Amino acid sequence: MADTERKKVIFSGIQPTGVFTLGNYVGAVRNWGPLQDEYDCIYSIVDQHAITVRKDPAKLRQQTVEGYALLLACGIDPKKSIVFIQSHNPNHAQLSWVLGCVTQFGELSRMTQFKDKAAKHADDINAGLFTYPVLMAADILTYNADAVPIGDDQRQHLELARNIAVRFNQRYGDMFTVPEAYIPKVGARIKSLQEPTKKMSKSDENPNATIYILDDKDTIMRKFRRAVTDSDTEIRFAEGKDGINNLLTIYSCATGKGIPDCEKEFAGKGYGDFKLAVGEAVADYLEPVRTEYARLMDDRAYLKECWTDGAQRAFRMSNKVLTKAYRKIGFVDYR
């Protein structure tokens, strides 16, 4: 008998805030492509979330297009997955109003990210910054997503989405799937090239600390030449050798070789040669992403075709849920 069980739905929203780091790519992004074979995946560039802090309109528009192209370059297939820009589907904002009316003020007041962002942007503590966790809940619930890939910083928001779904279901009858956290297989944890006890971060003020997946080869080589090592001379993975441990981990990820094999390969060699080899391996590892990204950015017509199709598919899927929610709460059908 054929297996007719439906695939579970995963929703993931990505803010248009710049290029992924090598750490982002190794730790999570490179697994998104294979995920499409196991789940029905919905990916959205969440540009509406981005405006909770002031943005230059031209920069936001450019970063949204770049973010969309980057998803495709990293292996998201717009034929296998629904890939769209959040503001192209009005159902998110419409459901957000409904869900806001079953969300308690106190729940939003306890959101730690609101407190953190309000402190950081004290001159612009706007209502959107306060209520955006409800929009995030709408992003998820409008597709009845079964699972949402999250990091630690989003656990509180997902818990709120779960509470909203349960409360709506209790008040108006069974309606929303209560989403679970999807904990992806964690790839290697890549550290800063300048402070190897800290994770690699796009917010690092030191330009030599972070490798971005669109860095050109010359830039990558320069950053690795300046990478922090230690006063020892032996290339081995050991406690207290944070810089070398980080470089061995990066080399292992870029080449697919195990750490012991990497140690053997560089036995007796100096740190300078080792850093150059890591840089070469990373440049080669990221080259297909850079090439595909450049190709996509040169073909704006194709990108527009993809995000238009994605928005239409997202609208059709989410509109069924929104229509049902409207009916549940007592709105009059208009057709």
Tell which residue, 145, 215, 135, 207, has the closest CA to residue 176: 145
Selected catalytic residue, list 7, 198, 202, 304 = 202
Tell which residue, 33, 41, 55, has the closest CA to residue 13: 41
Are 51 and 96 in contact by the 8 Å Cβ rule? The answer is no
Selected catalytic residue, list 55, 80, 199, 328 = 199
Exposure string for 253-269, b = 16+ CB within 10 A, e = fewer = bbbebeeeebbeebeee
Distance CA 230, CA 228 (A): 7
Active site residue 257: no
Tell which residue, 214, 224, 217, 96, has the closest CA to residue 160: 96
Are 24 and 210 in contact by the 8 Å Cβ rule? The answer is no
Exposure string for 98-121, b = 16+ CB within 10 A, e = fewer = bbbebbeeebbeebeebeebeeee
Active site residue 7: no
Q: Are strands 9-14 and 40-45 parallel, antiparallel or unpaired?
A: parallel
**In what helix (H) or strand (E) does residue 45 lie, and over which residues does it extend?**
strand 40-45
Are 72 and 14 in contact by the 8 Å Cβ rule? The answer is no
Are 50 and 17 in contact by the 8 Å Cβ rule? The answer is yes
Q: Are strands 147-149 and 180-182 parallel, antiparallel or unpaired?
A: parallel
Distance CA 250, CA 282 (A): 8
User: Cα dihedral angle (153, 11, 118, 151), rounded to 10 degrees?
Assistant: 10
Phi, psi of 185 (to 5 degrees): -60, 125
Active site residue 117: yes
Residues annotated catalytic, as ranges: 117, 199, 202
